[in-house]
Amino acid sequence: MQISKKELLQKANAASKDTLMETLNIEIVDFTEDTLTARMPVTPKVHQPDGVLHGGATAALAESVGSFASHIFTNTDEFFVRGLEITANHLKSVKEGYVYAKASFLHRGRTTQLLDIRVIDGEDNLVSICRLSTITLPKKK
């Protein structure tokens, strides 16, 4: 029995219950063989004091979608994934609406992965460019 894309997205989002992803209302909205896309609403909850999207919230979105991408493309019965480093270049301010983060693999090794994460607003304007490196480690038996 093959699971539908809709069912996979529901399962992925259910895994975020009681996490930072739920706190920030981050939702996985799409995936392909090589990418994962999530969105986050831009509300006062994720603003900095002057009323625009906080860079830390953007970085949390990017790390969430990138780590989740590494996680779902890994055999989690035998391995776990951890983030190693994230960088973020913030290019545009956003006051409201949604931002979308699309994680694409630049390198998908057995031990380390490198992801490019592009954050855009609802009008396809580039908001931030992020890079995330993750590591896959064997679970102790």
DSSP 8-state secondary structure symbol assigned to residue 94: -
Q: Give the neighbor-by-neighbor strand order of the sheet with 97-108.
A: 27-31, 35-42, 97-108, 112-121, 126-138, 79-90
Bridge partners, 45 (sequence order) = none
8 A C-beta contact, residue 132 and residue 62: yes
**63 assigned to active site:** yes
**Residue 18 to residue 14: CA distance in whole angstroms:** 9
CB atoms within 10 A of CB 13: 16
**Which of these is catalytic: 63, 85, 96, 123?**
63
Q: How many CA within 13 A on the CB side of residue 61?
A: 35
Active site residues: 63
